[in-house]
Structure 1
Amino acid sequence: MRKRYKAIVDAYAAAIRSGKLLPGHRLPTHRALAAEHGISLATATRAYAELEGMGLVSGETGRGTFVREISLPAGLGVNQYAVAADVLDLNFNYPALPEQAELLRSALRRLATQGDLDALLRYQPHAGKTGEREMIAAWLRGTGLRAAAEQLLLVNGAQHGLAVVVMGLLRPGDVVAVDALTYPGFKSLAALYRIELVPLPVTAGGPDLAALKQLCRQRRVRALYAMPTLHNPLGWVLSHQQRREIAAIARQHDLLIIEDAAYAYLVRNPPPPLAYFAPERTLYVTGFSKNIATGLRVGVVVTPAAYQPALEQAIRATSWNTPSVMTALVCGWLQDGTVSRLERLKRRDARRRQKLARELLAPLEVTGHPNAYFVWLPLPDEVRADAVVRRLMDQRISVSTAEPFSTTQNVPHAIRLALGSVSLAALTQALTAVRETIAYARDL
């Protein structure tokens, strides 16, 4: 009976989310639903109650049960950029350390008293200043990426870097292979530029590479989007062998590789990037928003020479150049060791928060890297993610369902928790509430 009840709830939820059942549509009465599916009236009532708890329907006494407008209210989706001041934000990651504001103050003073300030007010080369590209190339070599300064393009953060790659190298209708759970920002770009995303099944240790081979044999795949070093949201780090195999598949089927390394700094001594194994076809994208601060919109794209003109054209069309005040700040911190120190401190901070999450969420199953600023939390079979998210929002705690990350038709019931945006005391409070809310939903 539980399986049948669960199937009814999932079928209605899928129909509502897909638009097959529109807002205002009247659902069958409780008795009609029970008769249609051969279940008891109590079970039919429970199914509608769960759909109502998920925010998908509303029951009106004397009138019936109706499909609700399901556009998310503020704070419930990763596309919502801000939440109210009194909300504990476990939706977005913007990890910051207490001393960062003073570091910025000092850096601005130094910038104001040194160098040619007038030059910072002028247009810059689309790819960035040669000297700054050389500094960043030297920093990247410390990550195992052998890149010449000429291969680097400075952009307005990693998201802009991904947009430049999509705009410059992909065309509407192109097929891109992605993980079944992937970064929502890339999903948004694909929707905007009408790129078809084809999901690859995920395993405990990475994407199903046999499925990638099969997909490439069946369809003309233009590119693979991958996060090999600390995947968001699942936290895996691909092995040397997996990276070599991806490079081999890409060469055999002439794929571009779009490598997103936004969180790679959190992993100590990882294998070399995919760009090391397939430098002639990999677009390596990273930035300084996570390891320094989200408000510092500086990123970099490392590109094979053949693709550079198209990417520079995309930079020119979207922003002309990355603001030189921002790049000067970043390069100053690269030179004096501030970036390395912040990365080291944030790895320690993320490790502490990850340990806290696993302790407070036990015995729930938690998926994530020991150094990650986020965890993936699959929910028990009888618990619905929408209901958990809404109940937490009632407690002024914002988390994300799996929907923004999912590229498959059937969205798993799971939540993703960002750990880096609140104090440790607030994180303790929020995680305790998450565990108790899931337990309450399960007991119902």
Structure 2
Amino acid sequence: MKARYKDVVDEYAAAIRSGELSAGTRLPTHRALAAERQISLATATRVYAELEAIGLVSGETGRGTFVREISLPLGLGVDQHVVATDVVDLNFNYPALPGQADLLRDALRNLSNAGDIESLLRYQPHAGKESDRHTIASWLSSTGITPSADDVLIVNGAQHGLTIAVMGLLKPGDVVAVDALIYPGFKALAALYHLELAAIPAGPDGPDLNALRQICQRRRVRAIYTMPTLHNPLGWVLSSAQRRELALIVRTFDLLVIEDAAYAYLVPRPPPPMAFYAPERTLYVTGFAKNIATGLRVGVVVCPAGMRAALERAIRATTWNTPSLMVSLVCGWIKDGTIKRLETLKRRDARERQSIARQILAPEDFISHPNSYFLWLPLPCEVRAERVVQRLIQQQISVSSAEPFSTSINVPHAIRLALGSVSKDKLRLAVAAVKETIDYERDR
């Protein structure tokens, strides 16, 4: 059974993170807290010690206990992506395979011998050259949609695709329905553009669509952001029936759909994207960071014709056009089959890494997809995520807590492990350290 003092710790932690208790607020004395909550003085002292250990309060001798100015410490979230070279990074995914550098050398050599290399030095159309859009449209046909070149916008990575969707089609104050746990990059966009996020509770295999209906009935929701194929961080893949139901909801309530397919390539033969079920209102956003390399900032937005002009204006306002050199590299790899081969190899690599993590973590409960480069690890009720993350960073291992993924006030005690950025030998040692740390905190 969960210890009583943990309930008090969680209540204070939620109030501090939500801003209900602002930085500098003086908390009740230990005796006052004990009387207020009907707990012992020793238990009250333990509550404040726990809050101080996770960095939310500070005690000052002779003055009392105060709420700290909280900013995300190193290792607690995916917004801070620079880690020391001696830290094992289980926070970010940048999967790469042996030999990819040689592929880049060969591609650059081929480009240098191209007949019209000078054209790469000039501005391109905002949405990309027509020939490149034809190439990418043909590549996308394997995903279950069949866009024309006119439906395709070439952007600077999937994050830029999400950015132009928000800039071009939403306004400050708009309500966007999102999963209770989502990709933190969209949270960052929502904060920057003053969007209001309405959290959809999670079911066992996807968002609670009945809850989404109720949200739309109560509020004027403008859009939904969704990852139906290999959700980050929960790894679910929505069934065809779930996608049809979601399409019915978005049509009923006239919602824009922003579909994020960044990791969809890892799932063999998934149902067609939402852009297939509701093409007239869906923006399909993907990129080449995960299936090729994070340094190649090329992405794609597939959009209905009526939205194209607004999205092109957003591209012009942000980057004018995607660098044609990188687009040429990607399109060359589409044509010669390199991307298809890399995707096949990375699916196999992700399965192997999942198998490593599953074997080590058993019998811990976790949530994932067998082809995923990440897994979600809910912690035992007596274990605090912040303590696990901080203890791991002391061991030179970086993981993320649930905080940057959560869109509701009640942040679950869980961690996400990114499996794709270190060697498999390092991965084994790091995951074993994660399990040992959880066991240590549980035994405390």
Using structure 1 for the length normalisation, give the TM-score: 0.97
Per-residue deviation, 1:29 = 3.6
Deviations 1:7-26 (CA, angstroms, capped at 9, x unpaired)? 21012212222334344444
Instruction: Kindly indicate whether the alpha-carbon contact (under 8 Å) linking 1:287 and 1:298 is maintained by their aligned counterparts in 2.
Output: yes
The CA distance in 1 between the partners of 2:15 and 2:175, in whole Å, is 26
Per-residue deviation, 1:312 = 0.5
Match in the other structure for 2:102: 102
Match in the other structure for 1:382: 382
Bigger shift: 108-117 or 311-320?
108-117
Match in the other structure for 2:183: 183
Per-residue deviation, 1:40 = 2.0
- Confirm or deny that 1:364 pairs with 2:364: yes
Instruction: Kindly indicate whether the alpha-carbon contact (under 8 Å) linking 1:365 and 1:377 is maintained by their aligned counterparts in 2.
Output: yes
The CA distance in 2 between the partners of 1:306 and 1:68, in whole Å, is 48
- Confirm or deny that 1:201 pairs with 2:201: yes
The CA distance in 1 between the partners of 2:129 and 2:314, in whole Å, is 17
Q: What RMSD, in angstroms, separates the aligned Cα atoms of the two structures?
A: 1.5
Match in the other structure for 2:164: 164
The CA distance in 2 between the partners of 1:174 and 1:45, in whole Å, is 43
The CA distance in 2 between the partners of 1:67 and 1:267, in whole Å, is 45
Per-residue deviation, 1:395 = 1.1
Match in the other structure for 1:145: 145
The CA distance in 2 between the partners of 1:91 and 1:272, in whole Å, is 29
Match in the other structure for 2:296: 296
Per-residue deviation, 1:48 = 2.2
- Confirm or deny that 1:57 pairs with 2:72: no
Match in the other structure for 1:400: 400
SS at match of 2:343: helix
The amino acid that maps onto 1:7 is D
Instruction: Kindly indicate whether the alpha-carbon contact (under 8 Å) linking 1:55 and 1:390 is maintained by their aligned counterparts in 2.
Output: no
Per-residue deviation, 1:202 = 0.6
The amino acid that maps onto 2:58 is S
Match in the other structure for 1:353: 353
Match in the other structure for 1:11: 11
Using structure 2 for the length normalisation, give the TM-score: 0.97
- Pairing of 1:29-428 with structure 2 (within 5 A): 29-59=29-59, 64-428=64-428
The amino acid that maps onto 1:352 is E
The CA distance in 2 between the partners of 1:165 and 1:419, in whole Å, is 29
Instruction: Kindly indicate whether the alpha-carbon contact (under 8 Å) linking 2:3 and 2:382 is maintained by their aligned counterparts in 1.
Output: no
Deviations 1:252-279 (CA, angstroms, capped at 9, x unpaired)? 2111111100000000000011111111
Instruction: Kindly indicate whether the alpha-carbon contact (under 8 Å) linking 2:75 and 2:400 is maintained by their aligned counterparts in 1.
Output: no
The amino acid that maps onto 1:312 is E
Instruction: Kindly indicate whether the alpha-carbon contact (under 8 Å) linking 1:223 and 1:258 is maintained by their aligned counterparts in 2.
Output: yes
The CA distance in 2 between the partners of 1:37 and 1:44, in whole Å, is 9
The CA distance in 2 between the partners of 1:311 and 1:153, in whole Å, is 8
The amino acid that maps onto 1:76 is L
Go from structure 1 to structure 2 and tell me whether the alpha carbon gap of 1:64 and 1:172 turns closer, same or farther (over 3 Å shift): closer
Instruction: Kindly indicate whether the alpha-carbon contact (under 8 Å) linking 2:281 and 2:304 is maintained by their aligned counterparts in 1.
Output: yes
Instruction: Kindly indicate whether the alpha-carbon contact (under 8 Å) linking 1:76 and 1:393 is maintained by their aligned counterparts in 2.
Output: no
Instruction: Kindly indicate whether the alpha-carbon contact (under 8 Å) linking 2:2 and 2:381 is maintained by their aligned counterparts in 1.
Output: no
The amino acid that maps onto 1:437 is T
Per-residue deviation, 1:325 = 0.2
Deviations 1:290-346 (CA, angstroms, capped at 9, x unpaired)? 100001000000000010011011101100000000000000100111100110111
The CA distance in 2 between the partners of 1:210 and 1:19, in whole Å, is 30
SS at match of 1:104: helix
Q: Which runs of 5+ in 2 are unaligned?
A: none
Q: How many residues align?
A: 444
The CA distance in 1 between the partners of 2:310 and 2:297, in whole Å, is 22
Instruction: Kindly indicate whether the alpha-carbon contact (under 8 Å) linking 2:75 and 2:389 is maintained by their aligned counterparts in 1.
Output: no
Per-residue deviation, 1:35 = 2.6
Identical residues among aligned pairs (%): 71
The amino acid that maps onto 2:392 is L
The CA distance in 2 between the partners of 1:24 and 1:225, in whole Å, is 35
The amino acid that maps onto 1:95 is P
Bigger shift: 38-47 or 245-254?
38-47
The CA distance in 1 between the partners of 2:251 and 2:67, in whole Å, is 49
SS at match of 2:221: coil
Go from structure 1 to structure 2 and tell me whether the alpha carbon gap of 1:20 and 1:173 turns closer, same or farther (over 3 Å shift): closer
